[in-house]
Copies of this chain bind each other. A is one copy, B any other.
Amino acid sequence: MAKRTVNVALIGYQFMGKAHSNAWRQAPRFFDLEWEPHLKVLCGRNREALEVAARKYGFEEIETDWTAVVERPDVDLVDVSAPGHLHAPISIAAAKAGKIVWCEKPLANTLNEAEAMVATVREAGVFHALFHNYRFCPAIQLAKRMIQEGALGDLRHFRAVYLQDWMSDPSTPMVWRLKKQYAGSGAHGDLNSHLIDLARFLVGEITEVSGVMKTFVRERPIAEGSQETDTVDVDDATAFLALFESGAMGTFEATRFALGRKNHNRIEINGSKGSIVFNLERMNELEYYDGSDPSDRTGFRLIQVTEPVHPFVSAWWPPGHIIGYEHTFVNLVADGLQRMAEGRNPSPNFEDGLACQRVLDAVERSAERKSWVSVQ
């Protein structure tokens, strides 16, 4: 089968740039792909740092002006890993230039931006993808399959928390993620977006929400040890109640103030026939309760999702040999490339990003009004 090479331009070289470049590099090493990515150009503003990053990540070229990159004829795919406020302008420009666009989540900082982005990719008729990588934990894929097969029956409860603690200390200095103009929101957009995406993937659409947003520390030093401070204008923590189209009820909570919790993205789903529990910090495991087990030996099973029969696992290692955080990106990239090779759009994509944004937005409105709000 003839392979096709996909030239990738990656905008952004920090945390997400590192994770995405690894994914583009590793996908063809572990999966049999018809479309093979080539790390063509890495784009950022600081030339010096960019050169170091490009060499380390294995990119062929660098570029400091993203407007130039999205127009380059030798670029097939633009990967948008820049801060949130740049998602919309870069994605829109790239789509208008006819490029495949893959964007880091959350799709945008505002609902307006997200709507414009979706309108543009639809109009341009380009493939688009969204890096909601946690869908690609084998354990989440297994959960999805089990739910689709009916192993959980009718779903009644979705219960999710995403707990971190990196802002818990008031002396931790200001970063762009704490300013609304760059990040849109705080823990809400950053972390609840993950939970909402998993909820939509596993349980379906959310119709109504009631939320609360809290900022525990309003002023932070502008730098380590500085006396000068800047104002935090996003949420440190956001929790909300939700109702699903399916009749299930949901609870969501995202915070950067749960001292001791590092990356505790935990979801539990209870259905009429079974239940599951997932925790990202132990992402190779899925707990599963089968209500049809003999009554004297029921219990949550600790499934090690490392068997060849499990989704995406056969590309990796033998049973009990775990994979890590970055593998979710590799799996996502391999899956999206394969879909495109088959003429299908990747999933999740901008439509999912928009749907997620609608929920994020409804929560913000509900917190302001102090009442329940419908999603759209």
Q: Once the chains bind, are B241 and A249 in contact (CB under 8 Å)?
A: no
Partner of A299, one of B58, B272, B288: B288
Mark interface residues in A359-371 (1 if CB within 8 Å of B CB, else 0).
Answer: 0000000000111
CA separation between A225 and B282, bound complex, in Å? 36
CB distance from A81 to the nearest CB of B (A): 15
Known: A237-B156, A241-B239, A263-B319. A296 touches B300 (CB 8 A): no
The stretch among A60-68, A120-128, A210-218 that forms the contact with chain B is: A210-218
**A89 proximity list for chain B (CB < 8 A):** none
Q: Once the chains bind, are B156 and A216 in contact (CB under 8 Å)?
A: yes
CB distance from A102 to the nearest CB of B (A): 20
Residues of A within 8 A of B (CB): 15, 19, 22, 25-26, 28-30, 32, 56-58, 142, 145-146, 151, 156-157, 159, 161, 163-166, 168-170, 210-212, 214, 216, 237, 239-241, 243, 247, 249, 251, 253, 255, 257-264, 268, 270-275, 280-284, 287-291, 293, 295-304, 306-307, 309-310, 316-327, 369-372
CA separation between A316 and B15, bound complex, in Å? 10
Q: A168-B270, A255-B270 are in contact. List 15 more A-B contacts (CB 8 A).
A: A156-B258, A157-B257, A165-B270, A168-B272, A210-B212, A259-B273, A259-B291, A260-B291, A264-B320, A281-B320, A281-B322, A283-B322, A284-B324, A288-B299, A322-B322
CA separation between A163 and B268, bound complex, in Å? 11
Known: A239-B241, A241-B212. A320 touches B263 (CB 8 A): yes
CA separation between A356 and B361, bound complex, in Å? 33
Partner of A239, one of B211, B251, B300, B310: B251
> Top 8 nearest A-B pairs by Cβ distance?
A263-B320, A262-B320, A260-B289, A299-B301, A324-B324, A371-B371, A299-B303, A321-B325
Q: Once the chains bind, are B300 and A260 in contact (CB under 8 Å)?
A: yes
